[in-house]
Structure 1
């Protein structure tokens, strides 16, 4: 399989665009910052690809949608929100040093957005290609999920530009993930004068933490991890309230159902305690089967590239759960997602952009409408 294009991919231009994106900070839920960020993303897309990038308003900030026209065939999926608060850039500015780019959001996932756009710019023909860059991936995609699913169904193949796995691996499977919050209500009392008159919400929460941790099944890929807890008001009062936050990761739909049922059926250990559970496994698992066809194409274009299943979730979980072929981890090669040492390897940027070019050409050649295989592939 060969790649044909009339345009070259230039790393200097990619770095210029990456700097522009990084220097417009875009923390999730900050509507003003996200509006500015969406504007910069839209400008980059229009400048490199032509046409019009539309801002799709939502309660959490604008998503960016662009279409190359024609019948939809490929959805390029990403997000422009980041996890870093405003002011991070002043402490950790965009910097190029010894072959690495650093700065807030470079790996997750602004570098991937730049690679995607520049890879598409190298195509002679961009018809059938859509780009969707959402504003709320880092906080669960509650305001973008329906749009993501709509465009994935319409296009029939999805390329996700989250950061690559270790060594540049593509992400061929992801665990489903969710967050649960357990609220415990007991009764306050003086801890010295009459502790027996109280109902200790902290003691109840401790029992529940042990019960919840026991739901893990590492052999099945399921982890249930209590991550935060709070209780009490002062040191001499039986705590009347406690909360526990729990991170859940699952590999299969069956385990998702088991965990959600277990949370729904939690019962108190102490008398006169009330328990309220909120949450769900919001991102369904992304099975390896969802990526098989696209991963085969990628390996033809980039021989030796590995595929890995990872514990983190992305918007690719939603599209894979629909049965739409989905390949993830096509973004920047680097590391340190959500950390101060986040970085992108510069030498990998051009090859990854060219992979985008080749994948889009291959999908249009080998997939029928809405991702249906050609007769020879059935």
Structure 2
């Protein structure tokens, strides 16, 4: 057995306890005080282990953490995020619990388990005195679940200085890494009509909800699942009372795509939507906020090297697949930097009340990440 794998087996309980603590420290993307508190906690975890860490304070979102370890001309960038999709109080409604070889809790799988791997991989290198001829930089942001608008410049700047990027988002359930992801776009359609009483003045009104219904049908028809292209109107609102013709309506639209050309085509189609009913005005806002992560030659080469390392050092067979969701790895891959995603924990149920981490994966994935950092 490799000494790295032995290290993670011996430290499994410490890693699990850290994961439990991180889940209890709730960190909704839009609750800055909670993310700030977690950033301080993580800073202490790294620095108390003799690892350099810097808190990067933010004005509108929670603080980010930048960790740097090792020396050398080359750099590997590791990506994590501390924020979750869960609102404050979720951990009281759904406390952390262990059940057999599973750990349940909001944000455990996506992706506080990945943060644990990042910390303990550096601790393993340090404590085992493994040779590391490069710098490892870990960025832990607090806005990934809401698009990474504030952290994207930092991520891209660090990526441009890196020979490879390893993203600790969770694995595809079953353990597969992610060598491709769909691109993501978010749009808002706002419609203005004319209010009127539904009794005597009904004909004077122009319903913004009626108009929106037409466009919802048109937008969904733009989907082509065979090409990996989907549009979803996921939130709608409009009107005031049932006896008033609706003066306004609004819809939020989610776009997912594989081929960049498909994404750009749909963007043009959305921005060229025109009123159907007389007296209506409408506007579209939004954009593609994550380009697709494609199986480029650089990414495929990095994956093959990871396969070789996993097999030779850990007797582990790595497989890869595609994810429909986006991550910060989408940004770095689009820059042409070799990128490998899904290196975090195994489990299932991201963004669901059934979210869980398979505890044995903390050992296997921790050892894998450590070997990659040392040998890439």
TM-score of the aligned structures, taking structure 2 as reference length: 0.92
Match of 1:296 in 2: 304
Correspondence list, 1:326-365, <5 A: 326-363=339-376
Which residue of structure 2 lines up, in the alignment, with residue 44 of structure 1?
45
Shift of 1:143: 0.5
Instruction: Answer yes or no: is the 8 Å Cα contact 1:20–1:40 preserved in 2.
Output: no
Q: Deviation per CA, 1:261-284, whole angstroms, max 9, x where unpaired? A: 111111111122110111111111
Structure 1 segments of 4 or more deviating over 4 A?
2-7
SS in 2 for 1:171: strand
Could you tell me whether the CA contact under 8 Å between 2:174 and 2:346 is conserved in 1?
Answer: yes
SS in 1 for 2:48: helix
Whether 1:213 and 2:213 are equivalent positions in the alignment is no
Report the alpha carbon displacement of residue 42 of structure 1 after superposing the two structures with TM.
Answer: 1.6
Closer, same or farther: CA 72–54 of 1 in aligned 2, 3 Å: farther
1:1-378 aligned at under 5 Å gives the runs: 8-9=7-8, 10-48=11-49, 50-58=50-58, 59-68=60-69, 69-123=71-125, 124-126=130-132, 127-289=134-296, 291-300=299-308, 301-302=310-311, 303-363=316-376
CA distance in 2, matches of 1:99, 1:360: 27
How far apart, CA to CA, are the structure 2 residues paired with 1:71 and 1:32? 37
Deviation at 1:3, TM superposition (A): 6.8
Contact 2:4–2:367 under 8 Å retained in 1? no
Q: Which moved more, 1:61-70 or 1:106-115?
A: 61-70
Q: What residue number does 1:369 align with? A: none
Matched position secondary structure for 2:7: coil
Per-residue deviation, residues 297-328 of structure 1 (Å, max 9, x unmatched): 22221443221111100001111111111111
Q: For residues 193 and 272 of structure 2, what CA distance do their matches in structure 1 show?
A: 19
Distance of aligned partners of 1:125 and 1:38 in 2 relative to their CA distance in 1, 3 Å threshold: farther
Query: Could you tell me how far 1:345 is from its partner in structure 2?
Result: 0.6
Superposed CA offset, 1:191-223 (max 9, x none) = 121322111111110111111111112222110
Residue 28 of structure 1, CA deviation: 0.7
Name the CA distance, whole Å, in 2 between partners of 1:308 and 1:120: 27
* Count of residue correspondences: 361
- Cα pair 2:209 2:239 within 8 Å, conserved: yes
Measure how far apart 1:87 and its partner are.
1.2
Q: Distance in 2 between matches of 1:77 and 1:169?
A: 18
1:173 aligns to what SS in structure 2? strand
* Farther-moved stretch of structure 1 (114-123 vs 348-357): 114-123
Contact persistence 2:5–2:364 (CA under 8 A): no
Return 5+ residue gaps in structure 1 as ranges.
364-378
Supply the RMSD in Å over aligned alpha carbons. 1.7
Which moved further from structure 2: 121-130 or 274-283?
121-130
Report if the CA contact (8 A) 1:11-1:349 is conserved. yes
TM superposition shift of 1:45: 2.1
